[in-house]
Amino acid sequence: MKKISIIGLGNVGSTVAYSLIERKLCEKIALFDKKDGLSKAEVNDLMDGMVRRDGHVEVIEGRKKDLDDTDIIIFAPGDIKIIQENQDLMSELTYTKTCVEEWAEKIKKSKFRGIIIVVSNPCDVLSSYMQELTGFAKEKVIGTGTILDTARMKNAVSKYLDVDPSSIDGYVLGEHGYSQFVAWSQVNIATKPIKELLDKKTITSIEKSTKTMAFETISAKGYTSFGIANATAIMVETIFTDAKTVLPVSSYSKTDGCYIGHPAVLGASGVIRDFHISLNEEEEKKWQESVKTIKQANEKRSLA
């Protein structure tokens, strides 16, 4: 039986739960949240939403013992008010750092031996911290990375060229945050380089919107949820089916010595191997700047 535990039932965690149920990606989901009554309320609401639907997923209020036989933990605590006020994903670190400290100890003491997917922000820094505190193999602790950012880039390109976003090959790399960048030298459609299809002004506009899209959505809606839930569900499906799909997750880069968003092969055992794609000189500088940003945040987290 495929079982998932979701820690943190804010806008993201609850949407992830619904996405997993809709796609029938598991048989059981245990819900955890520090707010009294919220886990029970979400269980009731999700169960009501399954009436007269094909298939069934058991949804329960999580207890510590539920971690023991869980296959995947999805870690999603957060405080959207912090991002609303600061418009910087890194600003949540002080809060989410304490959430990792609280849960890493519980996870370590349990019999859990599965895979942890870190969704909370700042994703790269927290993935590293979760791995350090649990002592789990780096291949077993994975962040959602730049899957969502890559989707935003592909959506933007698709609108200009009138093609399915899935037909666009390429990645957003680096931090899931302001230092991210699009590796335009490797973006193409049917092997045709994107720079032969779009002018520089358009490409610059797309890259800017890719970075700021989250804050535009948050300004109007108050939060983001569907895109990141989709990214998380893609990871879950890839792991459970051992699909060995290449996704730009936040995984540990031995070359750079930190967790950072870049392509990796994902399967039943977690990250199987990663890829460092060829970058031009300008992109390499952006990559190094993103590595620096993440490492500085890791140092700040360690000193706090």
Contact assessment for residue 7 and residue 74, using Cβ atoms and an 8 Å cutoff: yes
**252 dihedral zone (left: phi>0; alpha: psi -120 to 50; beta):** beta
Task: Name 141's bridge partners.
Answer: 116
**140 dihedral zone (left: phi>0; alpha: psi -120 to 50; beta):** alpha
Task: Name 174's bridge partners.
Answer: 261
The CA-based angle 252-174-119, given to 5 degrees, is 70
- Beta-carbon contacts of 158 under 8 Å, excluding residues fewer than 6 positions away, are 164, 165, 167, 168
Q: Which amino acid is present at 58?
A: E
DSSP string, 110-154: S---SEEEE-SSSHHHHHHHHHHHH---GGGEEE-TTHHHHHHHH
Q: Point out the residues that are catalytic.
A: 176
Q: Is 21 buried (19+), middle (13-18) or exposed (0-12) by CB count in 10 A?
A: buried
User: What distance in Å separates the CA atoms of residue 84 and residue 169, rounded to the nearest whole number?
Assistant: 32
